[in-house]
Structure 1
């Protein structure tokens, strides 16, 4: 170790004697190593910590050349270091230094050139820090590798800008690669209607440092479409900087399964109520048919009793309208509901549920209505009826049959600040306290085996939650139960002006609008032709094939009134043909339907929301619809 020593080495005693006492004390108490070297790189001064770092005494360090201390693999950097030090500015470098026993440590050196030509270096052992940094880097690399292969969508953002996205996120959002997402605004990935809520969640995480629990949000794809996802988000340090990480799973499939579960529960309810509904239909039919028979007999009489015949007609009409309402409510309930919501009248939904459940209630309890809610709620009407039907049937089943006068099922509706509360209460047996926490668990039921699937209340809670509401329960064993559906209220809006009633009787005119009537049922064609003939020039046909022939002969039709579901070739097929061959006529088609039972039929009616009417229909409503369609064409040949 004598190389580089060109003058006699000072002893430790000589160096210490040469130092001012205060400086000597300060240097030896320093926690960093302090080295002073001359212009040749020979150490002429060192403190106690520097000696400890090198594993040498002060006498052994003094006179050593820097080259003897620096690890051979780092020696090539010396020329670069000197050139930077010569600028006169402090120079920070990281080098491996050798101990006396040949081991090395990682040191951070801050070197400055002094006025007298010597060099002052402060040396800090950063071996532990470097090891920790490398461990962090390895951890971050492993973490990033994990994120890269996760099947979930992962996005890391900082101050609103995406700094990382994995391949799953890029694919789900329609990007060619994750790099294309980096640098864009994270809020741009969110469906516009959901952005305010997401921005509020981001602010909370930044302010509190706490994670945000599972939420369902909609994400935008690059092509403008969107999809639902379930998201959790939390703060973390990413690439050494505070960031926010969001992990999402595409909820499209789970949403489909949820819709199927809801539909299955709905159909199960129909199966349960089928016998009762048949009973409710048979009751009015029991007096509809006799009234019609008496009407036919009276009309055949040479001197009919007109007053009695009018009573027969009124009785038959009353029964038919009652059947019409039962069938319409049952059809609306059975139809697979879409996820869209509208401002819904809660009282009407309650009445539909009570009508469907009438056979379950009749022999168990009297029904009391207490409707005081004036606000509407944003809900899907069919699904809200499903919830209320479940609650009403459960209330009925909590009461034994045979003593209806002693029991009550009561439905109340109330307005509350920003909410509407719908309560279904009963005087049944109540629910055991230990069962209350599990009421909404899937497959949990307190009914006898075979009497319930245990899915009803679970499905109800899922539906109500999707509307932004909740279900509250209050039950006392031996007294009864009350289930309250709480839903956000919709701000009141002025009702749309009602369409003016058509004038009656219609006035004959020679220039009546031409109407092509397409229906495979002869009786339907006959009655509509009779009702419309004074107002429209009606041409009835029994099939789509005949309709095509008539349209091919002449496309001069103001209205094409067509049955939606017919055997062999349907009204939907006619619409597709008209769009292809006579496009101008497509906007003049109106559909009649006794039920849209296929996805294709529902899709067409969704596209034409104001161009169809349900069978059996009110004649005045049909006339109003046809008149509006004529007026939309300019009224040149509109009905009077």
Structure 2
């Protein structure tokens, strides 16, 4: 637009328009600043014109300027609003970008956390699964009805199956007085955890004793039963051994008491038979009957001796011994008893198998077991004797096995074979004490004994004894024997009148002056008065009024040099007292006389 003046034409309006375009479009200024710049610039245009030029139409000039100014202000305001809008959009866009960046970062962090949680969850699942599968107890998870949903490796191993899933607990349990499954589940649902013992069937048909603890599991509002099953076969075995040992100990105590009473009776019988046999006037018929009585009494004495062995009342002489040597000695001992159709096969280890034991009693063990093997093979067969060294951790044992190819042992007889007086032999062929004595001797040697048998194929006895590493030297303590003069008077004390009478008669026949009493208290009073003339005391140990041990202690207090011979059915008890000689019951007159004379001579 060209503004015409008197002398010339001026590009006034064109400059204003260009200015507005520049101010509105090029400079991102605020409304006030833009307006100030526009007014200032417009003044720069306007003032020279007003000063140097003459305006022909002032009204038109001002109208145009007002119009242009209004347009400029309007455009400036519009531009300001647009800039504000753009600025807000820019801020929002920037904030949105920042939020998007934060969201993206949070998303990445969330993904990382989710991945980490998934790894941890996966690791937890692996650990829980490993814990479940490798648990030492069997673990079963069932539904309420008893259907097995999951079972670990140990549970499958206990029952002999590759997997138990799909089976039912009712089929595995042996119905043996335990509450039905439904009642147990009812108790669990009432909040009472259960621990009980039960037998389960194994795949091969035998029964396994288990201790089961169970509780309710609730997962996603579904209820399950969790069972922990522990094999208690070893515990049951140990309990059975303990009960058996206690029973054997009780029987042993009873047997020891019976043996003591029998020894007293047999001593009286044998002594009186011998005294009667010394009379010359006895007819031959009566003499033969006396010999029969003596033979029967001696047979009874052998049974009593076995009872004492079983009751462990005879002391063992423990020394270091090579078990292989004991085996060879035992075989030589029974060589004359071996049937012609029986073969003995030895498979002995070359290793040194030194144990602590009593060779005589160990021979007794072997002889009893081998003779049983002979009896189990009436039509012949093979007895195999084997030794081997076994190591389990720090424990080292020697295993002695005696096998036969005989008839075997019936299952119903197996639990009773070590019971005293239990026998399957015909009447008169055995006392039933052989294996009971074997059991007692093995236990006395801190050993173990177990049996394997198959009906119709044979039986094997396994005996295990602790090995000793070094062979200690056996030191025999020096024996100091007091010498004494020949006694003129002997004091005899025994609560059994028959034995007392027998000893008195025998010694008086040999020329001794005998003072006899059944009362230990009376004997003590007699000794107080006559101790200077008494040079020998013969006493029993087990007496109701006073134990022989206390009598001996009192006698020694009164006269420490007093010589004492103990007559007893309990040789092991005599080891606890200080005496010069021990004479086990039953004994005959010749044994009594030889013991007394030998003692006095020494």
Specify which structure has the bigger relative contact order, considering alpha-carbon pairs within 8 angstroms and separated by 6 or more residues: 2
TM-score, normalised to structure 1, is 0.35
Give 1 or 2: higher helix fraction.
2
Q: Which has the larger radius of gyration?
A: 2
